[in-house]
Amino acid sequence: MFRRSALLLRPLRTCFSSIRSSNFSSLTPTINELFTKIQTGKLQDGQEVTVHAWVRSVRKQKRIAFAQVLDGSSERLLQLVFLDVGIAADLAPGMSVKVNGVLQATKHPTEPWEVRAESVAVVGSVPAEEPYPIQKKFMTQEHLRRDLPAIRFRTNAVATNMRLRSKTTSAVSRFFEDNGFFQVHPPIVTSSDCEGAGEVFTVVSEASSMPFFGSKAYLTVSTQLHLEALVMGLARVWTLTPAFRAEKSMTSRHLSEFWMLEAEIGFADSLDQIMSIVEQLIRSIATELKEKGELDKIVTLKRAQEKQKETTGEGEDASEVVTADRVLARWDSLIGKEAEWIRLSYKDAIGILKEAEASGIATFDVPVDENEGLASEHEKWLAGTHVKGPVFVTQYPKSLKPFYMLPSPLPSSTVECFDLLVPDMGELVGGSLREHDIDRLRSVIQESGIDLDSIEWYLQLRKWGSVPHGGFGLGFERLICYLGGVYNIREAIAFPRWVERCAC
């Protein structure tokens, strides 16, 4: 019996290993991998290469032709040179191609390598009667979003944001992994409105008028309540999950579907602990991205856009541009200084705003009122003008915040919470300690008018071995906008959804 199964296993193992290696080796290296190989000396002048890419532009002369191609693996364009013009005869922008050629060193300072193309196979052509719509000429992001929602990833501006999302996710994973957190996967469909702000989308079945799940179900506005359950078994957890809010907000920082990075920390009993984790997380993301050259890429792209605007007048409206200098200032305020980010109580923040208003240093459209919370313009002024960098505003009045937040010690009427505000944007992160006492939690739930039965599971967590805990939620697209100098949040997500817009 043993011998038979051993015999059976052997060919299987061989088969798996050959599948694995042949799959990888059969893929053509990306342009980014080619440049890495050149840098590390694995590929040299005169060696044969194969490239899969899209044609960005073609320039044909009598005896020579050039094409610039890109494959999305980085922002870099690769120049192809055709000494036989005939090979390039059918090439047009937008086509996908497979090119065989020879790597050649150039004397060009910024593009030191090109490929002398020896053969080109068109993988995907473009119709002659309908040329590729993305040409070198500038197109506004709004136009791309509206008319070419699926094609816009071939523009450098949008692809850069998508690559930044990916790199940022890796940095986030590394931070949490290094600090003892587990990544968890809470549900998207939920039976409770976590924030209690009435901004939920209801989930219904097209096929039936009865509630599919037996009771009302919503798309999650935040996975926090489920993270609180998970943290009671795993001690430190995090997730990056879609969140949905039916806010009729059309601003450059609101989406109806966005991604929220959330973490929950068990046995945390002070707000300072949570704020320190947020600060370390963002610092570590920015530091890693900078070390890996991502900041340089963003700045180079911005400078190129600035130059284009200067020389041709083409570009986004100035009011919708975050300049390269501004991006550098943002990163400097995040990681340029050792000092801890400023922490300010809500009471003090209101005092500072009122004083600024009274002395004429600042004028606001929305008057400062401690009972109303901070308006976006107040947040931006506090971070952008007053602090000139990130600032935590802590301990808001209980009446302004959701039911689950831990009250500050009496006689205070505030809760143990914070918002992290950053220049130009305002709120980037919201977090708090959570009420962990079952009786107090039950009474605030009753006061808030939430159905106790529907949230019994959440109360249960406080019944057996409850622990002090807290956590936070960070708007992932807002972080991408802040780091990437992206003005409009709709550019920071692949398929943006907002009120009256769910394009494809």
For ligand 4AD, which stretch binds (CB under 6 A), given 20-28, 155-163, 372-380, 427-435? Answer: 427-435
Q: Does 478 bind ligand 4AD (CB under 6 A)?
A: yes
Among 194, 279, 303, 191, smallest CA distance to 243 is for: 194
- Three-state DSSP at 336 gives coil
Pick 115 or 479: Cβ nearer ligand 4AD: 479
Pick 115 or 227: Cβ nearer Mg ion: 227
Helix/strand/coil (H/E/C) assignment for every residue in 126-186: CCCCCCCCCCCCCCCHHHHHHHCCCCHHHCHHHHHHHHHHHHHHHHHHHHHHHCCCEECCC
Pick 32 or 169: Cβ nearer ligand 4AD: 169
For ligand 4AD, which stretch binds (CB under 6 A), given 16-24, 209-217, 296-304, 471-479? Answer: 471-479
Q: Does 430 bind Mg ion (CB under 5 A)?
A: yes
Min CB(474)–ligand 4AD separation in Å: 6
For ligand 4AD, which stretch binds (CB under 6 A), given 202-210, 295-303, 351-359, 465-473? Answer: 465-473
To which residue do tokens 């469909």 refer?
189
Pick 228 or 316: Cβ nearer ligand 4AD: 228
Q: With contacts defined by CB under 5 A, how many residues of the chain interact with Mg ion?
A: 1
Backbone angles phi, psi at 411, to 5 degrees: -90, 15
- H/E stretch holding 204 reads none
Beta bridge partners of 343: 392
426 binds, among ligand 4AD, Mg ion, none (CB under 5 to 8 A by kind): none
- For residue 193, the 8-state DSSP code is -
- H/E stretch holding 19 reads helix 2-25
Write down the H helix ranges in 271-419.
Answer: 271-291, 294-312, 324-335, 346-358, 376-381
Question: CA-based Rg of the chain, rounded to a whole angstrom?
Answer: 27
**Contact assessment for residue 358 and residue 387, using Cβ atoms and an 8 Å cutoff:** no
Q: Does 236 bind ligand 4AD (CB under 6 A)?
A: no
Min CB(284)–ligand 4AD separation in Å: 18
Task: State the Cα–Cα distance between residues 71 and 440, nearest whole angstrom.
Answer: 57
Task: State the Cα–Cα distance between residues 451 and 20, nearest whole angstrom.
Answer: 53
- H/E stretch holding 431 reads strand 426-433
Q: Does 431 bind Mg ion (CB under 5 A)?
A: no
Q: Does 262 bind ligand 4AD (CB under 6 A)?
A: yes
Contact characters 179-218, ligand 4AD, x per CB under 6 A: ---------------xx-----------------------
Q: Which two three-digit tokens encode residue 211?
A: 């509630």
For ligand 4AD, which stretch binds (CB under 6 A), given 96-104, 309-317, 328-336, 468-476? Answer: 468-476
Among 404, 401, 378, 380, smallest CA distance to 462 is for: 404
Q: Does 472 bind ligand 4AD (CB under 6 A)?
A: yes
Pick 71 or 195: Cβ nearer ligand 4AD: 195
Q: Does 222 bind ligand 4AD (CB under 6 A)?
A: yes
Contact characters 383-422, Mg ion, x per CB under 5 A: ----------------------------------------
Pick 31 or 428: Cβ nearer ligand 4AD: 428
Contact residues for Mg ion (CB under 5 A)? 430
Residues in contact with ligand 4AD by the rule CB under 6 A: 194-195, 222, 224, 245, 247, 254-255, 258, 260, 262, 427-431, 471-475, 477-478
